[in-house]
Chains A and B, each alone.
Chain A
Amino acid sequence: MRPILERYAQPLYGTVILPRLGNTASAEEVLRDTLATAVEKIKRFTWQGKSIYPWLRQIAINKVFDVHRQSKRSRRLADAMVHEVAAETDPSSHADAQLIAEQERTAHRAKIDETMVLLAERYRLAIELRLVQELSRDDCAKRLGVTIGTFDVLLFRAVRAFRKQFGEAKGS
């Protein structure tokens, strides 16, 4: 069982759990619970000549639901992603785990891009430089020709705007 868990831990974490939680500590906890549940319930898994990944993925998604249900905070972005789970999930899929994970990553990326398009150019740039390219604040400020303090404000507003746009776009 250990090789299976080690093989699927990364795609579960990176494409199923963390994008829906946004919190690394919670995501690690959910991953651990997912794998533990898989070990406990492996007898229920019926092998039908296809990957075990969709089954594991469904367990992970159920755990993510539980986390959101328990959380009292308003987390529109994460909620929006969770609401789309049903449409995306196909437990009977014959696709390989890597392929499913890649498709899911692409789908998430498309959602992010859709929202980014709605942002002001400078907000988009601030997010791109700081969160995607992971440049330092100093470098980001130089690229945008502003002080670090002004860049901080830009990034702060950019993330707020993103959150607002994403939640509204997916919640509507």
Chain B
Amino acid sequence: MPTTDDEDDLMLGAVPDPDDEATPAERAHARTFAELVDKTLVGQTPVAMSADDRALLDVATVIRVTSGGLPLAASKQRSIVEAALAKAIGGGRPTTTTAELPSAPAAVIPLAGRERRRFVPWAIAGVSTLVAAAAIVLLVVRAPTVIHEVDTARVVPTEQRSRPTDALIGPIARERAGDAATRIDTIFADRLDGYRDRTLGGGKP
């Protein structure tokens, strides 16, 4: 059984000359790779393999495709085009089955789950319709509520309402025009009084 260090040497170390004797570890790895190539050549590339083997297999594939091999099968091309159209127009839901799309193995959904998911939009739409219908029925059937209008402005005392400061400050004499700080203090004190009356009287600010 080759160790991890042996594997690292095999993949990252210098490539031996063709006539150099192979170690048992290299022979074992070479055989594994040869079998991967075998499977790939018949279109049955295993999904699971080491990253290093994947990298080498990618190289082999590049060489093959550049030499004119690996055309896209007509059936596969059709399913890819179909899936692309479905994704672009239908919001990502291919019209072909997921099993026909080998490019998306991670997206395989169990059939039972898919059936359940298919009903989700209908269930949401049904519940929404029922709620809307119930609301309309309630509006029609329910007796009109008597609304007691309260004149809020009359209930809230003047000192707690928004109001102009003209009455508080009065006309500003020319010689006191620059004394704005005093006027602001006066207004602030007046508003603070109203606030305190309100909070100390048990009401919310």
Interface residues of A (CB under 8 A from B): 1-2, 5-6, 9-10, 13-14, 18-19, 21-26, 28-29, 31-40, 73-75, 77-78, 81, 105, 108-109, 111-112, 120-123, 127, 130-132, 134, 137, 149-157, 159-164, 166
Interface residue B30 (Cβ < 8 Å from any Cβ of A): yes
Interface size class of B (residues with CB under 8 A): 35 or more
Q: Whole-angstrom distance between the alpha carbons of A33 and B85 in the complex?
A: 10
**Is the CB–CB distance between A163 and B26 below 8 Å?**
no
Residue-wise, chain B 25-40 has the 8 Å CB interface mask toward A (1 for contact) of: 0110111011001100
**Is the CB–CB distance between A153 and B27 below 8 Å?**
yes
Interface residue B76 (Cβ < 8 Å from any Cβ of A): yes
Q: Whole-angstrom distance between the alpha carbons of A113 and B29 in the complex?
A: 26
Q: Whole-angstrom distance between the alpha carbons of A10 and B26 in the complex?
A: 38
**Is the CB–CB distance between B18 and A18 below 8 Å?**
no
**Is the CB–CB distance between B67 and A109 below 8 Å?**
yes
Q: Whole-angstrom distance between the alpha carbons of A24 and B70 in the complex?
A: 9
Chain A positions within 8 Å of B66 at CB level? 19, 105, 108-109, 111-112
Residue-wise, chain B 47-62 has the 8 Å CB interface mask toward A (1 for contact) of: 1000100111111111
The interface stretch among B98-106, B115-123, B132-140, B154-162 is B98-106
Chain A positions within 8 Å of B29 at CB level? 156
The interface stretch among B9-17, B141-149, B164-172, B183-191 is B9-17
**Is the CB–CB distance between B72 and A10 below 8 Å?**
yes
Q: Whole-angstrom distance between the alpha carbons of A37 and B84 in the complex?
A: 8
**Is the CB–CB distance between B102 and A163 below 8 Å?**
no
Residues of chain B in range 78-134 having any CB-CB distance to chain A below 8 Å: 78, 80-81, 83-85, 87-89, 101-105
**Is the CB–CB distance between A156 and B26 below 8 Å?**
yes
**Is the CB–CB distance between B84 and A32 below 8 Å?**
yes
Contact of A24 among B18, B38, B45 (CB under 8 A): B45
Contact of A6 among B68, B77, B102 (CB under 8 A): B77
26 residue pairs A–B, Cβ–Cβ below 8 Å = A2-B85, A22-B57, A22-B58, A23-B54, A23-B57, A25-B47, A25-B102, A25-B105, A26-B103, A29-B103, A31-B84, A32-B80, A32-B84, A36-B88, A39-B85, A73-B55, A77-B58, A112-B63, A120-B18, A132-B69, A151-B34, A152-B27, A156-B33, A156-B56, A161-B15, A162-B59
**Which residue on B lies nearest to A161, using beta carbons?**
B15
Interface residue B200 (Cβ < 8 Å from any Cβ of A): no
